[in-house]
Amino acid sequence: MRQRIAVVGGGPGGLTFARVLHRHGHRVAVLERDPAPDARPPGGTLDLHEGLGQLALDKAGLRAEFEALSRPEGQAMRILGTDGTVLRDWRPRPGDRANPEIDRGQLRDLLRGPLDVRWGRGVTRVTPGTPDGVLVRYADGRQEPFDLVVGADGAWSRVRPAVSPATPHYTGVTAVETSLDDVDTRHPQLARLVGDGSMAVYGVNRALVAQRNSGGHVKVYAQFRAPLDRSADLDPADAGLLRSHLLALFDGWADPVLDLLRHGAGFALRPLHVLPVDHTWPHVRGVTLLGDAAHLMPPLGAGANLAMLDGAELAEAVAADPADLDGAVRAFEERMWTRAGRWARVTAAGLERLVSPDPAQALALFDEVQPA
């Protein structure tokens, strides 16, 4: 008998799950809240690691397409002092494809491919254990039963309450995101400053990171420690005020670095939240979580990778024995929890050192993780 499988959320985790199942000839309903693929800006660039995101793409049969789209040169990383001095200038060797970058929008389109995503399908509640199976309730009040519902709906998951009472808590660090377009022609100096990949500057309890995306687009992340209520007072809609706030916060830093904030267009506020490091739950028949919904952690380059590998592994487990959905989900959960717990500890410690009272910690971390 065909199993009724749904994944809530069409982010990297949900789409990888659906795409790998599709590759194995299984149908899955992808329920996505956004009304259309381009309903909101897709976000910045992601580095996909060998053995994590890249392994997931292998499982989806998308290696060649990824290699055509991704930017190995985007692995370059430069660290400046707050006075603009270049402290580290790391570039990948020719042929190094350990962590190439890809725009999030390109990755979404690559994964989406032939999938029939149900756009505008916001899920409000999931109820397991009914006589019909697991009931999914939509924002318009309608309900639909499934045999397996996978919550891949991110940080503020509406599926999570069906299995776990955990909710994300604030890390103490807020990121404000802005961006610059067409940097090579409009801001050639800034284009050189950022280089082919990322540039970071670390100060006392604050950091500024700029990342090149494709097409001359640069995303800038100003990160700082602040109480949640104070960062909530910042209004991203008032760009002038927010810009002056940031320039005051980063006062004294080198002018070319501050130009990234002066020329940034549009701001988004992202107080960084995380789930408890060892988040697990008593197994619930017919419902599970993956990606940020299961293990939200600081954005240190692992979250999308883990979400994708979760999705690919769960899909493979389901495809291997569709008659034993519950067994497949149980085995997947054990494996995901172990891996996610390890990464949650690494990224939590990493955030403490990158946005730290002692900026030397950030440089030391870079030297520990970056191959010479």
11 near ligand FAD, judged by CB under 6 A: yes
> What are residue 247's phi and psi, to 5 degrees?
-65, -35
Task: Break the chain down into helix, strand, coil percent, rounded to 5.
Answer: 40, 25, 35
The site that binds ligand FAD (CB under 6 A) totals a number of residues, namely 33
- Single out the segment in contact with ligand FAD by CB under 6 A; choices: 29-37, 166-174, 188-196, 317-325: 29-37
Measured from the CB of residue 186, what is the shortest distance to ligand FAD in angstroms? 23
Work out which of 291, 322, 350, 359 binds ligand FAD, going by CB under 6 A.
291
Cα–Cα–Cα angle for 360, 363, 367, nearest 5°? 135
Distance, in Å, from the CA atom of 90 to the CA atom of 193, rounded to the nearest integer, reads 13
Mark residues 33-72: x for contact with ligand FAD by CB under 6 A, - for none.
xx---------x-xx-------------------------
Give the H or E element holding residue 27.
none
CA–CA distance from 146 to each of 11, 128, 330 (Å)?
A: 20, 9, 18
Nearest-Å Rg of the Cα atoms of the chain is: 21
Q: Are 106 and 215 in contact (CB under 8 A)?
A: no
Residue 292, annotated ligand binder?
yes
Strand partners, 103: 45
Work out which of 31, 150, 208, 344 binds ligand FAD, going by CB under 6 A.
31
197 near ligand FAD, judged by CB under 6 A: no
10 vs 286, beta carbon nearer ligand FAD: 10
Work out which of 5, 13, 20, 206 binds ligand FAD, going by CB under 6 A.
13
How far does CA 193 lie from the centroid of its chain?
A: 25
270 near ligand FAD, judged by CB under 6 A: yes
Q: Which residues of 106-115 are buried (b: 16+ CB within 10 A; e: fewer)?
A: bbbbbbbeeb
DSSP string, 305-322: HHHHHHHHHHHHHHHH-G
CA–CA distance from 23 to each of 17, 113, 288, 315 (Å)?
A: 10, 11, 21, 10
Closest by CA position to 341, among listed 265, 244, 245, 276: 276
- Single out the segment in contact with ligand FAD by CB under 6 A; choices: 111-119, 160-168, 288-296, 351-359: 288-296
Mark residues 92-111: x for contact with ligand FAD by CB under 6 A, - for none.
--------------------
152 near ligand FAD, judged by CB under 6 A: yes
Mark residues 296-335: x for contact with ligand FAD by CB under 6 A, - for none.
---x-xxxxx-x----------------------------
139 vs 241, beta carbon nearer ligand FAD: 139
Residue 104, annotated ligand binder?
yes
Residue numbers in the known binding site for FAD are 47, 104, 292
Binding positions for ligand FAD, rule: CB under 6 A: 8-14, 31-34, 44, 46-47, 122-123, 152-154, 158, 175, 221, 270, 291-293, 299, 301-305, 307
Residue numbers in the known binding site are 40, 47, 104, 292
Residue numbers in the known binding site for NADPH are 40
